[in-house]
Amino acid sequence: MIYVRTKEKTAVTGWIILFIFVTYFISFLFIFPQSVSADRIKNIANFEGVRSNQLIGYGLVMGLPGTGDTGLATAQGIANILQRMGLTVNPNDIKTKDVAAVMVTALLPPFPKPGVRVDALVSALGDAKSLQGGTLLLSPLKGPDGKVYALAQGPVSIGGFIGGSGGNSTTKNHLTAGNVPNGAIVEIEPHFTLGDGNDIRLFLNRPDFTTSSAIVQKVNEALASEYATTVDSATVLIKIPPTFKNKIVELIAFIETLDVQVDTPARVVINERTGTVVVGDNVKIAPVAIAHGNLTVDIKTEYQVSQPAPFAPLGAKTVTVPKQDVSVKEQKASLIEVSSVTLSELVRALNALGVTPRDLISILQALKASGALRAELEII
């Protein structure tokens, strides 16, 4: 009996210690809430001059198994290539089923050096059926200024296939667009400028006054002076301190690692094509009652065939009689009241109605039209 009581006392003491620990842990979360949703500056903003550049060009994919173009432009392109190699041919005499005209695109990362390889994307320009097994010929890639910044060439990978012919064929993935891995070689480095030597600007990925102000406060605290100022909701101007006068890369690396409290507005994103609904935090609605029901109309047509009986008179014909069945089903709509709810309560209330993603889209649009939805509604 003494041992049992000691065990009970030990268990009670353990519960008391656990309760005290949970209480202090919850108090810590309320006292220091910023550590929960803080994010690094490099994840929410970019420095001026640190950007990618898009390139585009025209090329030919050779070696296709009869799945190429039939247009005159492709034949003319082949003729131009052969002419540069010293062979003159008539474009009308060239059969182009093994060649496809393509547009070649590439994305240059920030600060690319000559000789660096990047991926090239090719997309059929004409009526080619497939780029499977083809090889991209040397294609110059130009920037918006008309200068050639890279050259692309190599085998095309489409990540799919086509097999069979006629009605007995199978296809996987998209066959008229593909990738040339590391197929583009940088020839010229684009011009980049990191600030003007006295200051540098920081651009937020999502403009927000609260977040830009938090960045300014954090940078000034880290640099121990008023070097950062807010220009607008998307721009923060940072003066280069004397200690970083010739060390702008070190300054950027130092600022990028700072943690900042990110403030995100209440937003609901809807994709009507796929039926996807993403509801962000802090989404609330005003007092409102919601009723939603579905009306389903089914129309079926069946054909009944009446054939002549055996030994029927000459000239008797088979008669087809259509039989139509129309039924209407209306789902009962439950009226539910929701008021001043948070995200979890809103989802719980809508789930109580048994709504599908398509129904949820209609409900959210109606809530926004009524003024009850306290959030941005973005339809993509």
Q: Tokens 């009996």 map to which residue?
A: 1
- In the chain, the percentage of residues whose pLDDT exceeds 90 is 25
Q: Tokens 């994840």 map to which residue?
A: 43
Residues in the chain: 380
Number of other CB atoms surrounding residue 301 within 10 Å: 9
> Are 188 and 114 within 8 A, CB to CB?
yes
According to DSSP, the β-strands at 267-271 and 376-379 are parallel
The three-state secondary structure class of 369 is: helix
- Domain ranges (residues) in the chain: 40-49+193-261, 53-161+172-186, 268-306+320-379
Tens of pLDDT, residue by residue over 217-274, are: 999 999 988 999 999 989 999 999 998 888 888 999 999 999 998 888 888 888 877 7
Q: Which amino acid is at 351?
A: N
Containing 337, the helix (H) or strand (E) segment is: strand 335-338
CATH number belonging to domain 40-49+193-261: 3.30.1360
Tens of pLDDT, residue by residue over 9-52, are: 444 455 454 444 444 444 433 444 443 467 889 889 989 888 88
Tell me the sheet residues that pair with 101. Answer: 60
